[in-house]
């Protein structure tokens, strides 16, 4: 990562999203309908991976499989709308979310292969597209990939807020997460995402379950500047319903919920 002492960026939030997603959304109220959660697909496991190298890929560094054509823009929009802008890995619903290729092949534009991932989870599957300084692979045993993604998102949003105490706490937490790259460097020889991308590429046909075992406890920490624009959007959506100064109360209520 460029620095273990990242500075909070000064960004003005965009207007809150106008769409109204269902439960689990950062910008919409949860539905209370009995059994409503059964209508939503189960979340997929979050695994470290990389984009497949495919002959004819005109944009090998792209995170989404589209060119800037009217047809591709329409396909992107329809994909996001079909899945309610909901990340298939962590459940976040946001206008900042991106289209993800389930099989890592960007030439496969079949409907069943085009899914949705939030900007943080999506980069778990694009280790090879992260340049040096844009991220680190860290060892966080006991913390699921989904929880690591949610924690990092909360930190990145808090870094941009006007609450000085929250921003300082966010810096400390980000540095704590990033410091765990040293365990990976000692054990694997490198904590650079590109090194893990190369390893995944050499075993691309292996059972993903075996890869999950090999990479158990590993997570991706992203430098704030890498997803700066997306963080701005997610912040606007989240704080429209849960202002940063209300987070301590919400955390207290969750941790002390009646049994």
Tell me the β-bridge partners of 115. Answer: 100
Do residues 153 and 227 lie in contact, with contact meaning Cβ atoms separated by under 8 Å? no
Q: How confident is the model at residue 33, as a pLDDT?
A: 59
This prediction's pTM: 0.83
Give the three-class secondary structure for 13. Answer: coil
Task: Kindly tell me if the per-residue pLDDT of 126 is higher than 60.
Answer: yes
27-65 per-position pLDDT tens digit: 444 445 555 555 667 899 999 999 988 777 778 889 999
List alpha helices for the chain, DSSP H: 70-82, 119-124, 145-159, 164-179, 181-188, 193-202, 208-214, 228-239, 247-255
Give the three-class secondary structure for 215. Answer: coil
14-29 per-position pLDDT tens digit: 333 333 333 345 444 4
Mean residue pLDDT of the chain comes to: 85
- Helices 164-179 and 145-159 pack at an angle, to 10 degrees, of 140
| Radius of gyration of the CA atoms of the chain, in A | 18
Tokens at residue 57, please? Answer: 């890929």
């Amino acid at each position: 990562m460029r620095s273990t002492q990242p500075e909070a960026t000064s960004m003005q939030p965009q207007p809150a999203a106008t769409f109204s997603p269902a439960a689990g959304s950062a910008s919409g109220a949860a539905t209370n309908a009995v059994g409503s959660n059964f209508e939503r697909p189960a979340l997929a496991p979050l695994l470290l991976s990389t984009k497949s190298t495919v002959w004819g890929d005109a944009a090998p560094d792209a995170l989404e499989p589209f060119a800037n054509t009217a047809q591709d823009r329409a396909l992107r929009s329809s994909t996001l709308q079909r899945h309610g802008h909901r990340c298939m890995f962590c459940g976040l619903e946001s206008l900042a979310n991106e289209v993800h290729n389930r099989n890592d092949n960007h030439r496969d534009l079949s409907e069943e292969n085009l899914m949705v991932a939030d900007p943080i989870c999506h980069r778990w599957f694009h280790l090879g597209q992260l340049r040096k300084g844009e991220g680190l692979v860290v060892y966080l045993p006991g913390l699921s990939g989904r929880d690591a993604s949610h924690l990092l998102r909360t930190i990145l949003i808090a870094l941009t807020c006007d609450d000085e105490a929250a921003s300082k706490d966010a810096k400390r937490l980000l540095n704590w997460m990033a410091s765990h790259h040293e365990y990976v460097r000692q054990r694997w020889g490198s904590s650079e995402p590109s090194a893990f991308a190369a390893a995944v590429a050499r075993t691309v046909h292996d059972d993903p379950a075996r890869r999950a075992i090999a990479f158990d406890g590993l997570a991706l920490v992203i430098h704030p500047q890498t997803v700066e624009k997306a963080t701005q959007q997610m912040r606007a959506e989240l704080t429209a319903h849960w202002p940063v100064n209300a987070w301590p109360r919400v955390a207290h209520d969750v941790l002390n919920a009646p049994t």
